[in-house]
Structures are given as C-alpha cells and as structure tokens.
Amino acid sequence: MRGKVTAEDSAAAWKGVADRFPALRRTVNAHRLVYLDTAATAQKPDAVISAEKSYYEESNANVHRGIHTLAEEATAAYENCRKRAGELVGAPSPSSVVITRNATAALNMVARGLEHTLREGDEILLTEMEHHANLVPWIMLARRTGVVLKHIPITDGGLLDLGKLPELIGPRTRLVSLVHVSNVLGTINPVAEVAEAAHRAGALVVVDAAQGVGHMPVAMEELGADVLVYSAHKCYGPMGLGFLVAQPGLLEEMEPMEGGGEMINEVFLDRATWAEPPHKFEAGTPNVAAAAAFPPALDLLESLGLDAVRRHEEELVAHALQTLATLDGLVVYGPHDPKLRGGLVAFHDPEVHPHDMATLLDQAGVAVRAGHHCAQPLHRRLGVVATTRASFGIYSTKDDIDALAEGIRFARRYFSP
C-alpha cells in the first residue's frame, strides 16, 4: 500500500462509509436492504460508479494502439490500474501483473500456461476447501496431461490438516494451489506455512486470494506466493476485472492461453512471436472502463486503512458467531475463533433449507447466499448439500447481523409445524 494513513484520517473516512454506496440506499420488499452477500460481490462506492461513467464520457478509446489523446488517456488509465492492483498485494513490479476477466480466468491461465512444464505422474496439491475455480482448471489439466491431483484434507474444525502435509508433498509435487480465505468456512489459511513446505520440495505456490484481498492486508511475499490471483469486484471495484500476479520469471515461462491482437510481437501468415509479459497474456480488447474504475475503490480502502478494514470485519464475525450461537441447533461451519476467519459465516439450519431461508430473508430485505457456493466437494465433506452464507464488508454493521438473526427466527417460526 502507498502512504500511511493516520488514525484520525482513518476515523474520518469510516464516518458514514455506508453512505458512499448508492445500492445500499434502496429498499427490498419494503425493507431497508441489508446486504450480506459481499463474498459473492461487494457493492460499489459512488466513486467507482462515476469513474466508469466518466471513462466512457471522456476517454473511451482502445488501449495501446491509437496515437491520439483519447487513446493515450485510456492507455494511461489501464496501466495505472495495473500498477495500483499490483501495489495492493505487493507485486514485484507492474509488469508482473496480468489483467484478466476475473480470478477464475487467472487460475485457468496459470493451469494452461504451465501445462507444457508438467508430465504424466507429476503431482498438483490442492485442498478440500477450494472453490470450483481452483479445482476445475486442474481437473481439466489432469485430463489433458495425466498429472495427479492430491488434496489437503480439512479437520472437523474447518482448518487445513497440516499434519498430513509431509505425506502429501513429495518429489513429484510440482505445484500447490490453495485458497487464502475459504468462501464457505471463512478460514484464513496459514498459506506461508504450506508455501514453505512446497518450496522445500521445489513446487510452485499459487494462491487464490479472491476473498482476502481488499478485506485485510495481503502481501504475496509474506504468503510465499509465486502466483496470486484476485478479482476487483470482491473488493468494491467493478465487475469483469481480475489479476494474475506472478514472481519474476514465471510469466516468461508460462505459455499464453489465448492468441490474437495485442499479445504479439510479430505475426506472419504461418507463425508469430509473442509480446513480452504481461501483454502476451492479454489478447484482444480488455475491459478498460473497469480498469479505469478500480483505483477509486483502492483509494477508499487506503483512506480507511486495510488494518482497520480487517478489524471491522473481525468484530462483525465475532458478533455474528455470538448471535448465531443463540439459535438452538444452528450449525455454523469453520473455526470458532474470529481471528482465524475472514468476514463471512456459513451455516445450516436443520429446520429450514437454505433456499427457503434465503427466500424468507429476502422478504425481510436481507440478502444472503444459499447453495453450495461453488464448493461442492467441501459441502460433501461437511455432509450437507447446501448452506446459507452471510458475508460482510466495510459498510456492514452489527445491526445488519441482528436483522439476519431476526430473519432466521422468523423463518423458523414460519416453517415450524
């Protein structure tokens, strides 16, 4: 992160922070919107919305190719986003940041890009708590190459079972890819510890940081990440924008997934050479408007201070765990210690199915997510097909959590025989 934020500046920025989010002013089913689905996508502050609008009103042009003022402005905005997105996670340099559609695209790019370095029988280690985005690209890779997929199991308490690491990481382990913060359990994984074991075995470490970035300080060096991916939309930025950040040398080694304009050096009818990274991974016209609109989200996070953002979410999780514990029979997944959790809580009510729960809560204006949250293997491990998830952001309050609890009580009464 750039310049330090003083405590007073931070306190001033926090005042009325929710007012900066226009969507939070609306009502849903005649109730104040209580938005508890930030882990799916965060709401956008007015500065992000107006930046996207003014990009189209003033600077709309394609990047890197026009020699005119608008094209230069668009290119500058796009490259500024690359720089800022990298700084947020401690990227070695702007050129180590590939701009993608989303975090999923970034993970696919890594799997495709490293495919030529992998052989049948090589091992890739994942975890049982991965989002489908960090499972399916590797399953596809395994189908194509015969690499073997292994998984770090989880304990009943929702933590990675690191005791199993020695038997899971070996001389054939080429890559370890794991989630930083689980989108269901909330667990903040000890990524650095796993990375150290991976590096000792000579394996690369890929970190899916989609739920962590923007919600707590994240530094890829401290995590031991060789590659880190995240998306803008979960940290208050626009949709359609993600990042693949890599340590030096890796992008050079990776093959591009898509060919086309912008990613080339020289093209002949029968052959072509690639541009230098990161451009060789960015074929075609990118989402420049989204790139132009992301820095204002980062400005907001910086003014609040990411340490303070983390404290805020930790307090909310602590309140949520306490509040949900008063509801008899409700099963809350993941660690009980708020310090070990990101800003989300998934639960299962034996009396009310998550879909019914979400519908009833929506009638009270409370937006939650119900389903398997793109983590079917994890839900199988938990022994349920679906859970209800409440997730928090900088605009969330304890009142929001109390509204959730009230909604759950109402749903129970509604369905009770």
Partner 1 sequence: MNMNALDQLYREVILDHHRHPRGRHRLHQVDVEASGLNPSCGDEVTLQLELDGDRIRDVAVDGRGCAVSTASGSILAELVTGLTIPEARRIAEHFKQVMHGEEIPDEVDLGDLEALTGVRKFPVRVKCALLPWITLLDAALTDAENRPAEPVNTEEEGS
Q: How far is the CB of 279 from partner 1 (least distance, A)?
A: 36
Q: Which stretch binds partner 1 (CB under 8 A): 224-232, 250-258, 268-276, 350-358?
A: 350-358
Nearer to partner 1, 29 or 322 (CB): 29
Minimum distance from residue 370 beta carbon to partner 1 (Å): 7
Which residue stretch of 61-69, 83-91, 93-101, 365-373 sits at the interface with partner 1 (rule: CB under 8 A)? 365-373
Tell me if residue 324 falls in helix, strand or coil. Answer: helix
The window from 89-97, 98-106, 293-301, 362-370 that contacts partner 1 (CB under 8 A) reads 362-370
> Within a 10 A sphere around the Cβ of 156, how many other Cβ atoms?
8
When binding is defined by CB under 8 A, the residue of 142, 371, 377, 397 that contacts partner 1 is: 371
Query: With the CA atoms of 206, 212, 218 and 222 taken in that order, what torsion angle do they form, in degrees rounded to the nearest 10?
Result: -40
Enumerate residues 11-40 that contact partner 1 by CB under 8 A. Answer: 29-30
Smallest separation, CB 139 to partner 1 (Å): 16
> Residue 414 Cβ, how far from partner 1 at the closest point, in Å?
7
Between 51 and 411, name the residue whose CB sits nearer to partner 1. Answer: 411
| CA dist 333 → 122, 138, 165 (Å) | 33, 26, 23
Q: Which residues of 263-288 are buried (b: 16+ CB within 10 A; e: fewer)?
A: bbeeeeeeeeebbebbbbbbbeebbb
Sheet holding 344-348, edge to edge: 331-332, 344-348, 387-391, 369-371
Which residue of 41, 60, 145, 363 would you call a contact of partner 1, by CB under 8 A?
363
How close are the terminal C-alpha atoms of the chain, in Å? 54
The rounded distance, in Å, linking the Cα atoms of 137 and 118 is 14
Residue 203 touches partner 1, criterion: CB under 8 A: no
Residues 6+ apart with CB under 8 A from 382: 333, 348
- Per the annotation, the verdict on 81 as an active-site residue is no
Choosing from 136, 327, 374, 384, the catalytic residue is 374
Q: Could you give the residue numbers annotated as active site?
A: 374
Per CB under 8 A, residues contacting partner 1 are 29-30, 353-356, 359-360, 363-364, 370-372, 376, 379, 385-386, 410, 414-415, 417
